[in-house]
Amino acid sequence: MSGPQRWFRHLGEFIEALRRAGELKVVSRPVSRHLEISRLTDAESKSPGGGRALYFEQVIDSPFPAATNLFGSSRRIGMALGVDDLDELGARVRALIEMAPPQGLRDMLGLLPTALSVTRFFPRRCRKRPAPCQEVVLTGKDVDLGQLPVLHCWPKDAGPFITLPLVFTRSLASGRRNCGMYRLQVFDRCTTGMHWHIHKDGSSYYNEYRRAGRRMPVAVAIGADPATIYAATAPLPRNVDEMILAGFIRNRPVEMVPCRTVDMEVPAEAEFVLEGYVDPGELRREGPFGDHTGYYSLADDYPVFHVTAVTHRRCPVYCATLVGRPPMEDCYLAKATERLFLPLLQAAFPEIQDYWLPWEGVFHNIVVVAIDKQYPLHAQKVMSGLWGQGQMSFCKAIVVVDRGVDPKDPAQVMGRLLETFDPTSDLTFTRGVLDVLDHSAPTAHFGSKVGLDLTERIAGEPPRRAPATVSAAAPEGESLAALLRGKVDGVVHARACVPFGGGGSAPRRNRLLLVAVAKPGDRAGKAYAAQLLALPELAAFNLILLYDAGIDLADASLTLWKLFNNTDPSRDLHFSGARCVVDACRKDPSDGHTREWPDELSFD
């Protein structure tokens, strides 16, 4: 084959392509699946550009090699999905959804080849016997999940977790298939947890079986061709088969094969397959687990997956992912989703020009949207629509800018915020569902949300308040920190800054101050906010962000990650006129937060 390979039959072909492209680092010495592979993967993921994929030839106490960080760079995710630029996938989607309806027989005949070509994306039955994923079949007492090099990812994890599984289920009501990526905690030789979030399709199908009192068949593929692995992560509408999306990306159908012990089908080219069932009503404590938020998700009760068979290729590769504080491998998978689903979002909201999900928002905490604004409160209309739209309904903060602002450019967005934002007129608050992993809301699964309208005012909208005039110059540098330490108990450090270089040469309505405090545990963030807003020396600062001691206030990515993860808009935004303090500190009962606050991930 000349030129770069555009699609891959199975994981082994993709790994070989990475090796040829210089994107693979081989670790030949024996390594432990308990934390060691994770440490190496974490360091590689946080290397410039995402580092390289890792291939571990010898995993202690396992006969199988392991691979991590396979998709963790812009180049590798492009290779995985067969494109040089992720927007190419979006262009293919746009071509399908913008197809004009036929006006006559000639138009209908012209569309026929396109319509017929779509059927090639549908999954097909594998004709090979045995199928590659069933070259080795283990059942009964031969089933032993301990043979797989399943990673113990972070020190406080409850055990080893399968982190890149393709979990296949089928609706009892409709018979439709779902393939989702839900982590599996390995309990023993033949059982795991089944981490179905309450908002996900797998959980919905499980509830159908639970209400019927019937055992639910489940199959889990570990390792497949890269397009199929990606498809399991995509937020498709319910009852849309992820294998069709994989076929669309590959331009070839995914070949499926019936399982040996359950009535399910799995990708024939998978590396490993776990077959089994979930009994209705059987729950077991699962977690904690070091999650993609950068915090441990807390322990809770989840269904139990009983493994009746393990099948695999003769020489399989176990693939895993490590998630944690961004940037990590999942950031690049999420970027593919962002670009692939833009045309679908624009089909529902034609005014949307582009959007951006910052990594620091861990995919569900913030989105920046650029719109073609045409009428008063158009930005608020878009906010309301997005909060009712699929996976966007979990988004805690929505920032809306005009079409002339590139939402993917942090400097432009930050500049717009500093030049324009008026807290008295530009905020929209509401309540709604939140991602299960959100830990900052006072209640689980739902909480407050905020929209920021940074668009230009047009006729019919009330003008923004004129910027306040401040006569005294704002203190700078160490004199600023020393001033605050002398005025406010617990202040450790302070920094006046503009993250990502936003602001440009335009006059700034707002100035930003970051303050780190050592909260004693009996003083709420609002008490600090009141003190800071009352200091005349800080009158020049319109926006003050409050952080815990130990946070490097010069690290823009770190401070934004803490801001997006640790705030509940209705509780943690404190106002005085056109000035605002945002409390991004860890919360405790003094803040009215009685839920357990999770620990941050660290190997220390």
Hey, which residues are catalytic here? 291
Query: Which amino acid would we find at residue 93?
Result: V
Let me know the angle formed at the C-alpha of 522 by 517 and 526, rounded to the nearest 5 degrees.
Answer: 60
Residues 6+ apart with CB under 8 A from 594: 442
Cα 87 off chain centre by: 19
What φ, ψ does residue 81 adopt, rounded to 5°? -100, 5
Residue 422 is classified by DSSP as -
Count of C-beta atoms within a 10 Å radius of residue 337? 18
CB burial readout 105-121, b (16+ within 10 A) else e:
eeeeeeeeeeeeeeeeb
Annotate 187-229 with DSSP letters as a single string: -SSSEEE----TTSHHHHHHHHHHHHT--EEEEEEES--HHHH
Give the HSE-up count for residue 518: Cα atoms under 13 Å, Cβ half-sphere.
7
Distance CA 43, CA 54 (A): 11
Distance CA 329, CA 341 (A): 19
Contact predicate 298/596, CB 8 Å: yes
CB burial readout 268-286, b (16+ within 10 A) else e:
bbbbbbbbbbbbbeeeeeb
Alpha helices in 392-466 (DSSP H): 410-420
* 3-state SS, residue 137: strand
- How long a stretch of residues is the chain? 604
Count of C-beta atoms within a 10 Å radius of residue 602? 12
Distance CA 540, CA 468 (A): 9
Distance CA 183, CA 500 (A): 34
Cα 598 off chain centre by: 18
Distance CA 394, CA 233 (A): 16
CB burial readout 23-41, b (16+ within 10 A) else e:
bbbebeeebbbebbbbebb
First to last CA, the chain: 47
Distance CA 573, CA 262 (A): 52
- Taking CA atoms, 17 is separated from 23, 69, 186, 556, in Å, by 8, 14, 31, 35
Residues 6+ apart with CB under 8 A from 87: 339
Report the candidate in 231, 222, 275 with the shortest Cα–Cα distance to residue 253: 231
Residues 6+ apart with CB under 8 A from 600: 294, 295, 325
Distance CA 4, CA 15 (A): 13
